[in-house]
Amino acid sequence: MKIETTKTAATTQLSQKIADSEVLLRDALTEFGRGQIALSFSGAEDVVLIDLVQSLGLQVDIFSLDTGRLPIETYEYLEKVRKHYQQPIELVYPAPEGVEALVKAKGLFSFYQDGHQECCSVRKVQPLRRKLATLDAWITGQRQDQSVTRSEIPPRQLDESFSTDGHELIKFNPLALWTSAEIWQYIRDYQVPYNPLHDQGFISVGCQPCTRAVGPYEHERAGRWWWEEETQKECGLHGQNVIPLTPIS
Amino acid sequence: MRHLTFVKKIQLDGNPCPKCIQVEERLARAGFLQRIDAVVIAREDDPHSPGAQLAAKHGIHQAPFFIITDDTSGELQQTVYTVYLAFVKAAFQSTAANTLG
């Protein structure tokens, strides 16, 4: 009987990425105990983080931001991940009064005219700030190859966006040096459940009105806020990545 | 009593398959490797090698894979795992809930 193997040179490269990420995750979960650190799950390929943590035999609290505008596929996927990993996922919601005020003043799709920052602030950044105020560290699935705004993120950093004078927050990015191809090789090799939107041409997945499928050879973040300037494509969760725009004259 | 078997493949060139190396390294980093009772080799050039025979017996076509043999209920049960995390959870569930810090 012939026994198939996963045999590619890429497997060797992936092995090193897995090793580095596992070391970082173990260190992070050693340095910060339960209740001090949590993993932010976006409902996309950062599911690899959950798989890595559990494969080490470790547990980490997981949270996800429910903006109220996520695609139905993402909600279904969150539930699938919860069941697959047999672990709760805390959904963090925007403050109702903030959403009501925004929608009352500007309607449901103001981001197409005014830019996404205002809506993201209400639906993502403020809830995240509230959540992170209870933590000393968080783990994200950011990668350098995702966008120009993320090309220099390190595996570990001081979170300048959400630290305050009295509260220093550490951000771990264990997938920072992984490529998209390596993420997907891991997902295939380890049979990790993934968001079905990826099969429909979505690469970066966010809120339904602000995410679309991308075409061949388009960058993965091209499907996010496609009506805006590339260097400003951060929702504010990772605001320190954004390069400030400077006037030409 | 439970018995944990890790079946890895040795390729025609004499080297373990890359995925087998990767999984073995992960087992070691997680501290699980020393708790594996048997590492069985499936030689690509020998269908009669112990691992190849296990693969044939269980209808497995991909390496690496794992077998948990359990007779704690008085009846011998064998479960085969081709997904690493599923094996880790089944084999080390009590310690898989371990929390550092």
Contacts of A220-223 with CB under 8 Å at 24 or more apart are: A220/A146, A220/A147, A220/A180, A221/A146, A221/A147
| SS3 label, residue B24 | helix
pLDDT tens digit sequence for B19-74: 999 999 999 999 999 999 999 999 999 999 999 999 999 999 999 999 999 998 88
Nearest chain B residue (CA) to A3 = B61
Nearest chain B residue (CA) to A57 = B96
With a cut of 0.90, is the ipTM above it?
no
| A188 belongs to a structural domain | yes
State how far the Cα of B101 lies from the Cα of A101, in Å rounded to an integer.
Answer: 42
- pLDDT (mean) for A152-179: 96
| A112 belongs to a structural domain | yes
Q: Does residue B96 have a pLDDT over 60?
A: no
State how far the Cα of A7 lies from the Cα of B79, in Å rounded to an integer.
Answer: 25
Domain boundary assignment for chain B: 2-96
| A42 belongs to a structural domain | yes
- What is residue A96's predicted lDDT score, i.e. its pLDDT? 97
Give A23's contacts in chain B (Cβ within 8 Å): 29
Would the CB atoms of A3 and B44 count as touching at under 8 Å? Answer: yes
B 64-83 residues with CB below 8 A of A?
Answer: 83
Would the CB atoms of A30 and B89 count as touching at under 8 Å? Answer: no
Give A190's contacts in chain B (Cβ within 8 Å): 83-85
| A44 belongs to a structural domain | yes
| A28 belongs to a structural domain | yes
Pick the CATH number of B2-96 from 3.40.50.2300, 3.40.30.10, 2.40.110.10, 3.40.50.300: 3.40.30.10
Would the CB atoms of B11 and A5 count as touching at under 8 Å? Answer: yes
Domain that holds residue A207: 9-241
Would the CB atoms of B30 and A56 count as touching at under 8 Å? Answer: yes
- pLDDT (mean) for A13-32: 97
**Distance (Å) from the C-alpha of residue B4 to the closest C-alpha of chain A?**
16
- What is residue B14's predicted lDDT score, i.e. its pLDDT? 95
| A147 belongs to a structural domain | yes
Would the CB atoms of B52 and A3 count as touching at under 8 Å? Answer: yes
pLDDT tens digit sequence for A169-178: 999 999 999 9
Give B84's contacts in chain A (Cβ within 8 Å): 55, 190
Would the CB atoms of B18 and A30 count as touching at under 8 Å? Answer: no
| A248 belongs to a structural domain | no
pLDDT tens digit sequence for A35-92: 999 999 998 889 999 999 999 999 999 999 999 999 999 999 999 999 999 999 999 9
Predicted confidence band of residue A233 (pLDDT cuts 50, 70, 90): low
- pLDDT (mean) for B4-23: 96
Residue among A173, A166, A153, A143 nearest A240 (CA): A153
pLDDT tens digit sequence for A211-226: 888 877 777 667 776 7
Would the CB atoms of B85 and A6 count as touching at under 8 Å? Answer: no
Q: Does residue A242 have a pLDDT over 70?
A: no
Indicate the number of domains in chain A.
Answer: 1
B 1-60 residues with CB below 8 A of A?
Answer: 9, 11, 17-22, 25-26, 29-32, 42, 44, 47, 51-52, 55-56, 60
Share of chain A above pLDDT 70, in %: 87
CATH of the domain at A171: 3.40.50.620
Q: Does residue A151 have a pLDDT over 90?
A: no
- What is residue B100's predicted lDDT score, i.e. its pLDDT? 43
Residue A4 in contact with residue B62, Cβ under 8 Å? yes
**Distance (Å) from the C-alpha of residue A192 to the closest C-alpha of chain B?**
9
| A2 belongs to a structural domain | no
Find the radius of gyration of the CA atoms of chain A.
18
Amino acid at B58: H
Out of B19, B26, B47, the one facing A5 most closely (by C-beta) is B19
Q: Does residue B76 have a pLDDT over 70?
A: yes
Active site (catalytic) residues of A: 235
Residue among A122, A140, A136 nearest A62 (CA): A140
A 60-119 residues with CB below 8 A of B?
Answer: 86
